[in-house]
Amino acid sequence: MSIEDKTIIQEFRQQFGSEPAFVVRAPGRVNLIGEHTDYNGGFVLPTAINREIKIACSPAEGRTVTMYAVAMKEKRAFSLDKLQRDACRWINYPQGVAMVLQGEGYKLRGMNAVVMGDVPLGAGLSSSAAFEVATSLAFSALSNLTIDRVRMARLCQRAENEFVGVNCGIMDQYVSLNAGAGRAVFIDCKSLEHRLIPLDTVHSRIVISDTGVKRELASSEYNVRRGQCEEAVKILKKHVPGATCLRDISSAVLKAHEAELPEVVRKRARHVVSENERVLQSLQLLEKNDLVAFGRLLNASHDSLRDDYEVSCRELDAMVTAARALPGCLGSRLTGAGFGGCAVSLVKAEAADAFCRELGKRYKAATGLEARIIVSEAADGASVMERRGSD
């Protein structure tokens, strides 16, 4: 048992005066490549990170869920029979998960829970998805539910779409549930199948650098991009019988008919179609362990997100420019929705320490802001730890 497990258990004892029955954990994620492709039925290649949300929980009498959030130093309760959006943002995540699970006919028990974690909040590393996944595992463990992990990812995504009100795709919840240590998760967001892809953890490091800029525009602009992609499909589908999403459009079809698309829509479609191709190429390169060529694709992904999808910002561009100029950097790009949040860089292992030190300095010189830099290990997916006895 790790130190943090002991801490969350002590917190639980303090809040509820008893032992938790389970501790569950769900990791955040970083996407290596395949950005803004998930809601287009496309391909993504994220890894789970070694930052996670934990919940210690026990069944409670009746239908009340009581949760204490260590980071907020705040205890909140809701009834499973009366779920309603709360002005307190964080409690809406477990409420949303409860709503979706009950809507699917699962019988939930009340619970007492403590939540804590070290996924930076609002930095684009999917703390929300990790919270949803941890909550659904906590409910499943206490109520004895068996829910397939792909189905659980979809239910957590629905909780975020329908209750929290963020129209995200499936990637974040999916990877948090299905990741494997030392591996990236290749997800086909149309068939919802995945494959674990080994990463060369001996020769390379994944470095995440947080710009410190909150993703203010992310949710409104995110919806605008989704609409533009749908518009592209509406126009192009007459050329591809059965096409339902941009995933079904090849670059050849796009090129042949791009004149039919309004200019902005054409650029959005060009990003998504080319990004899907880059993900597929990445799989081949990772299989050959050609990290240099893979790094070039990361760079191309960022450039496409900046120029065609227009979801970068000054600080992300500054971070990526600084990263690429440093020795040992194989490639660097924004990761997640954009408009702030983090960049991800692939760095030669022997250069990683110096890279991290220098990147912070150069980013500060360019923007005046402090970067938070994490060397991430591709972590395992979410899990439930049953507790026997007390320690």
- Pairing, β 111-117 against β 329-334: unpaired
* Beta carbon nearer to ligand GLA, 31 or 299: 31
Write down the catalytic residue from 38, 172, 248, 308: 172
Query: Which residues, other chains included, contact 148 with Cβ-Cβ below 8 Å and sequence gap of 6+?
Result: none
d(CA 99, CA 81): 9
Neighbours of 255 (CB within 10 A): 11
Torsion of CA 221, 224, 230, 235, to 10 degrees: -120
347, β-bridge pairs: 205, 329
* Beta carbon nearer to ligand GLA, 20 or 308: 308
d(CA 71, CA 266): 43
> Alpha carbon of 269 to those of 41, 109, 147, 169: distances in Å?
13, 45, 35, 17
d(CA 30, CA 170): 14
Shortest gap between Cβ of 370 and ligand GLA (angstroms)? 23
* Beta carbon nearer to ligand GLA, 168 or 246: 168
DSSP state at residue 307? H
The footprint of ligand GLA (CB under 6 A) covers 31, 35-36, 38-39, 168-169, 171-172, 336-337
Shortest gap between Cβ of 243 and ligand GLA (angstroms)? 20
SS3 for 113? strand
* Beta carbon nearer to ligand GLA, 183 or 333: 333
Shortest gap between Cβ of 307 and ligand GLA (angstroms)? 17
The question of whether 308 is a catalytic residue gets the answer: no
* Beta carbon nearer to ligand GLA, 31 or 92: 31
What is the set of active-site residues?
172
